[in-house]
Amino acid sequence: MADKDMIVVDELVKRFPHKDKEGRDTEKTAVDGLSLSVRRGEVFGLLGPNGAGKTTTIRMMTMQTRPTEGRIFYDGRSTEHSPVDVKRLIGVVPQHVNFDQDLTVGENLELHARLFHMGKEERRERIAELLDFVGLADVVNDGVRRLSGGMKRRLLIVRALIHRPRILFLDEPTVALDPQVRRRIWDLIRQMAHGGVTVFLTTHYIEEAEALCQRVAILDRGRLVALDEPAKLCDRLGRFTVEWDERGERQCQFFAARHEADDFAASLDPEGGILIRPTNLEDVFIARTGRKGGL
Amino acid sequence: MLYDIWTVFWRDGIVLRRRLSRFILSRMVAPLLYLVAFGWGLGRSIQVDSGTYLDFLVPGILALNSMNISFNSITPVHAERIYHKSLEEYLLAPIRPDAFVIGKVLAAVLRGLISSTVIVVLAWLFGAHFTPGPLFLAVLTLNCVIFAEIGFLAAMKIDTYEAMSQVNTYILLPMSFLCGTFFSTAALPDAVAAFIDILPLTHTSYLLRGLGSGADVSMLSLLVLVVYAVGGFFWSRHAFRHLTD
């Protein structure tokens, strides 16, 4: 384990009980031997199509689900042997809105602060500071049911930050949000990263990963299929992409150099137009997972 | 750990404070009906060895009501687990499972005792005679603890609303009527009485009735309740821990 590593995941496996087509009891592997490390202060993205195992991975990493096999370390501390210490280090923004529906915004945040043993004054100041930071100071006494989707998302982030975690997990932080709110949340994530928080996020929005992450891992059917900086993953596939239509389907071919892409494009006789462009993370994703759409 | 228990209890306290008047009013309906129907109405024509049927009835109503209230007070944990997912907040927090279980159970016990106080006042207004001493209060509390734990277990183990309501239908409702609450279990066939005597509510009914009238009570019944309460705690803690399996 290198000193610069904040999170180390070692051969993580999760199997769930499952019934096969004949109705026999069997097991389904959701995560299969996942190993990765996240550097201190890094924004790390876990990409994958629906059902790839992203949420299961994040649930294991945040100790909401016990791994079937494998180990997880935070700053050298194992989740198995020091769960309470590790929980103090991490903040979690879940994919779904999971506020206590019987409490107000302020009470939800206070409950969190109390669960992390923050003193009365510290709680009061921190809640006020964070609500102000995300522009939600006015709703502190409102019930959480009355908030809009975007406000709830921001509030989830606020709640996860109250106890000053050194690592923040965000599971699909901008799912189903409009572009303005999405950009605002991206800014929030960047500001946290600038403040020294290590960020681990899962997303199926490729542009989100490109906008935020220093490194990304791509998960498919529970297995790690790629891990590197987005630019390096694109370079490895080929820096230039030629796109064209053939038999009603969009085709892609990747090239290391622009002249190779130009030569190839000249040799085509497509039904529609030909596009030569820089390769992006979505190309890598599709090439690695073999799927289009639903990213 | 005490601070964590207090935090869990604090959350339920906020919700209770906000709904206290509604809670008390709603808790008066069923006991009032029991007292009117079985105390005034049917009860006038029934004589029991120990005195009036009303005096016999009140400890039974206290037992069944504290059972229902403490059980139902903790079942919102089921919605927190399955529907709102707000239970995740506690799973992510650096607290021990014991603290969560104890905090939730204590909050349900508080509701059970508030509701029991309402019944005691109503029963006195109806002219019932009984003396609730410290051991009476301890037995009532123990009964609340046991059924709060059973409610907690149901909330941890059951996955649908429908199945949760079946616990009420198939377990609590029969116990409400059969466990020495409205009549002595001696009136039941031997095999049924033997089964009923295993259940905790039966022992609560006997103990409350004995303690309320100043008669001797069975220490075995007290022991049975303690065993249920301790066993229920460990089972609840185990169930909460295994949510992460």
Strands B51-52 and A274-278: unpaired
What is the residue type of B169?
A: T
Q: Assess whether A227 and A244 both reside in one domain.
A: no
pLDDT in tens, A105-143: 999 999 999 999 999 999 999 999 889 888 888 999 999
DSSP letters, chain B, are -HHHHHHHHHHHHHHHHHTHHHHHHHHHHHHHHHIIIIIIIGGGG-EETTEEHHHHHHHHHHHHHHHHHHHHHHTHHHHHHHTS-TTHHHHHSS--HHHHHHHHHHHHHHHHHHHHHHHHHHHHHTT------HHHHHHHHHHHHHHHHHHHHHHHH--SHHHHHHHIIIIIHHHHHHTTTSS-GGGS-HHHHHHHTTSHHHHHHHHHHHHHHT----HHHHHHHHHHHHHHHHHHHHHHHGGG-
On whether residue A286 sits in a domain, the answer given is no
The total of structural domains in chain A comes to 2
Band (pLDDT 50/70/90 cuts) for residue B204 is: very high
Q: Assess whether A206 and A182 both reside in one domain.
A: yes
On whether residue A293 sits in a domain, the answer given is no
Which residues in chain B have their CB less than 8 angstroms from residue A111's CB?
7, 10-11, 89
Could you tell me if A84 lies within 8 Å of chain B, comparing CB atoms? Answer: yes
On whether residue A227 sits in a domain, the answer given is yes
Q: Assess whether A200 and A222 both reside in one domain.
A: yes
DSSP H or E segment with residue A220? strand A215-220
Strands B47-48 and A25-39: unpaired
Look up the ipTM and state it.
0.85
- The answer to whether A96 contacts B85, with C-beta atoms less than 8 Å apart, is yes
On whether residue A265 sits in a domain, the answer given is yes
Rounded to whole angstroms, the Cα distance separating B95 from B242 reads 15
DSSP H or E segment with residue A5? strand A5-19
DSSP E strand stretches across A82-211? 90-93, 167-171, 198-203
- The answer to whether B244 contacts A66, with C-beta atoms less than 8 Å apart, is yes
What CATH number is associated with residue A198? 3.40.50.300
What tokens does B20 get?
């206290």
Which residues in chain B have their CB less than 8 angstroms from residue A83's CB?
94
**Nearest C-alpha neighbor of A11 from the set A66, A68, A70, A89:** A70
Mean pLDDT of B109-131: 88
On whether residue A295 sits in a domain, the answer given is no
Nearest to B93 among A87, A100, A102 (CB): A87
Average pLDDT for chain B: 89
Q: Assess whether A271 and A160 both reside in one domain.
A: no
- Within 10 angstroms of residue A50's Cβ, the number of other Cβ atoms is 10
Nearest to B86 among A90, A99, A117 (CB): A99
Q: Assess whether A222 and A253 both reside in one domain.
A: no
Could you tell me if B88 lies within 8 Å of chain A, comparing CB atoms? Answer: yes
Strands A69-74 and A43-47: unpaired
Rounded to whole angstroms, the Cα distance separating A67 from A53 reads 12
Rounded to whole angstroms, the Cα distance separating A256 from B209 reads 88
Q: Assess whether A92 and A199 both reside in one domain.
A: yes
**Nearest C-alpha neighbor of A240 from the set A220, A219, A223, A263:** A263
pLDDT in tens, A176-187: 777 887 888 888
On whether residue A125 sits in a domain, the answer given is no
- Per the DSSP assignment, residues forming a β-bridge with A243 are A252, A275
List per-residue pLDDT tens for chain A, 295 residues long.
556 889 999 999 999 988 888 888 899 999 999 999 999 989 999 998 888 899 899 999 999 999 999 999 999 899 989 999 999 999 999 988 999 999 999 999 999 999 999 999 999 999 998 898 888 889 999 999 989 888 898 899 899 989 999 999 999 888 777 788 788 888 888 888 888 899 999 988 888 888 899 999 999 889 998 899 988 989 888 899 998 888 778 888 899 889 888 888 888 876 668 889 999 888 888 888 875 544 3
Q: Which of residues 196-255 of A touch B (CB under 8 A)?
A: none
Nearest to B245 among A66, A101, A111 (CB): A66
Q: Assess whether A269 and A222 both reside in one domain.
A: no
Domain that holds residue A66: 5-100+156-232
Q: Assess whether A85 and A165 both reside in one domain.
A: yes
Q: Assess whether A264 and A187 both reside in one domain.
A: no
Q: Assess whether A268 and A212 both reside in one domain.
A: no
On whether residue A51 sits in a domain, the answer given is yes
**Nearest C-alpha neighbor of B212 from the set B70, B27, B50, B66:** B50
What tokens does A220 get?
């498919």
Q: Assess whether A190 and A268 both reside in one domain.
A: no
On whether residue A84 sits in a domain, the answer given is yes
Rounded to whole angstroms, the Cα distance separating A60 from B92 reads 11
Identify the burial level of A286 via C-beta atoms within 10 angstroms of its C-beta, where 0-12 means exposed, 13-18 middle and 19 or more buried. Answer: middle
Could you tell me if B90 lies within 8 Å of chain A, comparing CB atoms? Answer: yes
**In whole angstroms, how far apart are CA A91 and each of A94, A120, A202, B80, B233?**
10, 20, 14, 20, 29
Rounded to whole angstroms, the Cα distance separating A293 from B10 reads 47
Q: In Å, how far from its chain's centre is CA A238?
A: 25
Q: Assess whether A80 and A169 both reside in one domain.
A: yes
